[in-house]
Amino acid sequence: MNNNRALIPRRISGTLAAAYDAGDKVLILYGPRQSGKTTSALQLFTNRPDHKVLSLTGDDPADRRELSSKSKVELSRLTAGYDSLFIDEAQRIPDIGITLKLLHDNLPSLRILATGSSSFELAARTKEALTGRNRTFTLHPIGAGELAETMDLRALKNELSDYLVHGMYPAVRTADSRNEQRQILKELTDSYLYKDVIEYGGIRHTDKIHDLLRLLSFQIGSEVSISELGGKLGLSRDTVDRYIDVLEMAFVVFRLRGYSRNLRKEVTKMDKIFFYDVGVRNMIIGNLAEPEYRNDMGCLWENFLVSERRKVLSWRDSWANAWFWRLRTGAELDYIEEEDGLLRGYEFKFGNKTPGPPASWTAAYPEADYTVVNRDNWTDFIL
């Protein structure tokens, strides 16, 4: 546990700052609620004390009225005398896409940064209006690679058990006690996690969302049958599939698809579904036991590593594609990446074992790399 309240440096800060200074695009910062979007934006402005910033939030009804359905004259009057406009939780503002377009087109010197915790709502409202005018970023919960900038490698490795149990949300990582960590996770899963899902996702069966997340929590690392989930929830397959889409766009879960170059025995029809944060996953199922007392460490380890790797690829602005790989015969790899024509396969082991690659993988893809990621070398994979 990082027992201080100091800000943890975010890897996105440099890229975001460069785009802000360029001043030619509307910047949109997506990410889960409580992932640090507002803090990152305010830090950006703090580092530029000569910039006068107008800060508004979609959570405030008065601010929503200020920005909704206004003419360019009214918007010019609102922002007069300011160098920058910061709009937090912009997805809550009606007609935000048109508003941002008017501001960008008529006030070219005004720098604009908007945040959104639900990509389905904000993206839908800005996509057409801001075509060619915006640049988007995603802020994940804290990454181990970010923590490595404030602590030495030995200390980072010593905290692994806590990362696996309580996850990587900023408030969790800067909490003063184990009890505070758990209170933060409880608040996240009780309210913040579902706020945008319920409000913007068009969810009719709100009681089913938590049930669905519990089912998904017990299936991390396994292929998920949407039809089977529908049967257990009493919902149609299409409804469950749409609910998972909504949870993805609210940064709660994400899908990992099966890889295939059209080999007949490769399995690609079902996805694996992981959580953006393992602490949230553990709180949903009510299991915050230490690793040595758990029976789910294999799948929890897999979720943690895949989630951390997504952060790395995001920081690198990488074009790499990610999948899992499995044959109908049972041969499988937990995770693979393909980037610039290079295929890399990874097997995740929570212990210290280093098994060789499946013979069928080597036969099918002799040019591919293969690595076992375990507790000895996991930092190489996520740093």
- Asked whether residue 1 is domain-assigned, the answer is no
Give the separation between CA 223 and CA 297, rounded to whole angstroms.
17
pLDDT in tens, 315-329: 988 999 999 999 988
Spatial separation of the C-alpha atoms in residues 254 and 2, rounded to whole Å: 27
Query: Using an 8 Å Cβ cutoff, are 382 and 309 in contact?
Result: yes
3-state SS class at 42: helix
For 269, residues 6+ apart whose C-beta sits below 8 A from its C-beta are 258
Strand-pairing partners, residue 322, are 337
Pull the structure tokens for residue 253: 């879960």
Q: Where are the beta strands (DSSP E) in 243-299?
A: 253-256, 271-275
pLDDT in tens, 185-233: 999 888 777 776 777 667 777 788 889 999 999 999 999 999 999 999 9
| 134 and 209 in a common domain | no
Residue 120: per-residue pLDDT: 62
Same domain for 151 and 249: yes
Considering the domain architecture, whether residues 334 and 367 belong to the same structural domain is answered as: yes
Q: Write down the pLDDT at residue 3.
A: 46
Averaged pLDDT for residues 122-128: 73
Q: Report which residue type is found at 122.
A: L
Tell me, yes or no, whether 185 and 235 share the same domain.
yes
Q: How confident is the model at residue 119 (pLDDT cuts 50, 70, 90)?
A: low
Secondary structure class of 345 (helix, strand, coil): strand
The answer as to whether 4 is a domain residue is no
Structural domain harbouring 266: 144-382
Residues 230 and 131 in one domain: no
* Whether residues 186 and 205 fall in one domain: yes
CA 74 from centre of chain: 36
Predicted confidence (pLDDT) at residue 121 exceeds the cutoff of 70:
no
Counting the structural domains of the chain, the total is 2
Q: What is the mean pLDDT of residues 89-109?
A: 91
Q: Are residues 176 and 69 in the same domain?
A: no
- Residue 314 shares a structural domain with residue 167: yes
Q: How far is CA 177 from CA 121, 224, 283, 320, in A?
A: 35, 36, 17, 38
The domain that holds 193 is classified in CATH as 1.10.10.10
pTM: 0.93
Give the tens place of pLDDT for each residue, 268-295: 789 999 999 999 999 999 999 999 999 9
CA pair distance 117, 215, nearest whole angstrom: 24
Please say if the pLDDT value at position 129 is more than 90: no
Task: Please enumerate, as own/partner, the contacts of 325-331 that have beta carbons within 8 Å and a separation of 24 or more.
Answer: 325/258, 325/259, 325/266, 325/361, 326/223, 326/258, 326/266, 326/267, 327/263, 327/265, 327/266, 327/267, 327/360, 328/265, 328/266, 328/267, 329/265, 329/360, 331/358, 331/359, 331/360, 331/361
Flag whether 196 is in a domain.
yes
Q: To which H or E segment does residue 87 belong?
A: strand 84-88
pLDDT tens string 15-46: 999 999 999 999 999 998 899 999 999 999 99
Of 138, 163, 186, which residue constitutes the final position of a domain? 138
> CATH code at 78?
3.40.50.300
Look at residue 297 and tell me whether its pLDDT is greater than 70: yes
Segment 52-93, tens digit of pLDDT: 999 999 999 999 999 987 899 999 999 999 999 999 989 888
- Given 120, 138, 156, the domain boundary residue is 138
Per-residue pLDDT, 44 = 95
State the average pLDDT for the chain: 91
Same domain (yes/no): 329, 213: yes
Residue 223 sits in the same domain as residue 355: yes
Looking at the fold, whether 174 and 128 belong to one and the same domain comes out as: no
- Per-residue pLDDT at 1 exceeds 70: no
> Per the domain annotation, does 281 fall within a domain?
yes
